[in-house]
Structure 1
């Protein structure tokens, strides 16, 4: 009996020790498994973190590409050009950006990552080619602007030259017109009575009651500049009160002189031949003449070419 008691105690101790060892083993296994799980979680979090970073970087790349393509579009518009392919590409980038941003709420796989990276590389190459095209267009546009500016300057110079030539021609025409003005020389006044007898007076003074008609004669001075041919000669007989004698029945009319309408008393059409030819006006008033100083004016080609005075007493 005494011998069995120690054996039981010994077995009990061994059992307890065994249980302790088993418990410690189980605990160790649990700790190891917990550590493994923690490590896996950390690795998973790191993977997620890397994926999120790559996604944000990819979004930034596409945003930069969009800004560059919009810049190209604005550059072309500034030159007055449009490019439908650029607008289509910008729309496609907007669609890609929308899809990339949607991955923030879902998984962004390696396949997605590669797909968008390839698309971004293609877009960057297209962007580079288009930048070269825009640069060439800008250069050509600047050259064209310089050429247009040079042509405009030349055109302005030509316009100024034409204006100066036109002004010079007008001045020459005015000088020629003035130089070609006829001149009524040695205007003589002769009184004709009712019996047809003529009377001249060096003092140009006559008796009004004896006057039936008045004859004016003069010679046209030589003028090598004046063109030969038909000329209109108009005579104005101005009475002492300042009014020109005017009677449509005797051939009177109107003409323009220095921008104003004037009455002429009589008119003659002659053929100017530059021979100092004699021109005569014989005028009959048909009623008594007023006493006082009279003025006779001769006009041709818009110029006053001669004047003379006489007095009727």
Structure 2
């Protein structure tokens, strides 16, 4: 009987030892599993932190590519939201799986929003690039048109100048005969009482017909102009010039000879003299002569 009780005690003890060993193994296994889960959650948390940090930096880069003020404000708001969630994540314990999952879902939402903004920015950039091309094309066409207009204006100016030159009168065969009081050619300066000036207005079918005014200037060797009244002037190249003789003619477009006279009432001396003939604000002929 005693022998049988001993066997029962030994069996019960062995069973208890086996149970203790089993529980110990389970506890060690669970601890190891918990440790591994904790490490996994920690790694997942660190990965989330890195992703949130990258997102915040990407918003900085995106804002540099945007010139639209409204879009810049929206990007700023999303960046602040990202930074706020990052701060929340940093305060969450690695073992708090619920919060980590929530923040992981928030990150997925942020990713979708960012993709939408990237697409919108790309679209705006393409539109801006197209607008830039259009502006550059319009600018090129405007510059080309401006150059063409300038060229046409210059051609018109030159043509107008050519037509003006072609239409102006031309005095040729200019001669000056100094005469004495008997109407003969004066041999000496002191004997000159009159200048007889002859010239020819050439034929010009492009010139306007009708009454024309001719101005004759006789210039002495010292460039002083022979004139009866210094206040009697005509306009030439934006200035007023005194004249010696004023002559009206009826121009028909055909060649005609003109003769004018100057009565010498001033002191003359030997040297080189010059006669200039003007009409319509243009110099139409010149002639130099010498008195001995």
For the criterion TM > 0.5, the same-fold answer is: yes
Distance 1:149 1:290, change over 3 A: same
CA distance in 1, matches of 2:87, 2:125: 33
Distance 1:123 1:243, change over 3 A: same
1:144-155 matches, cutoff 5 A:
144-155=131-142
Q: How many residues end up aligned between the 2 structures?
A: 290
1:1-313 matches, cutoff 5 A:
30-77=20-67, 82-103=71-92, 106-191=93-178, 193=180, 198-199=183-184, 201=185, 206-227=187-208, 233-239=214-220, 242-246=221-225, 250-251=229-230, 265-266=243-244, 268=246, 270=248, 273-274=251-252, 281-300=260-279, 303-313=282-292
Deviations 1:192-236 (A, max 9, x none): 556xx544x5xxx64322222324243433333334578664433
The structure that has the greater radius of gyration is: 1
Q: Could you say what the CA RMSD is over the residues aligned between the two structures, in angstroms?
A: 4.0
Partner secondary structure for residue 101 of structure 1? helix
CA contact (8 A) 1:218 1:280 kept: yes
TM-score (norm 2): 0.76
CA distance in 2, matches of 1:271, 1:66: 94
TM-score (norm 1): 0.72
Partner secondary structure for residue 297 of structure 1? strand
How far residue 48 of structure 1 moved from its aligned partner, in angstroms, is 0.8
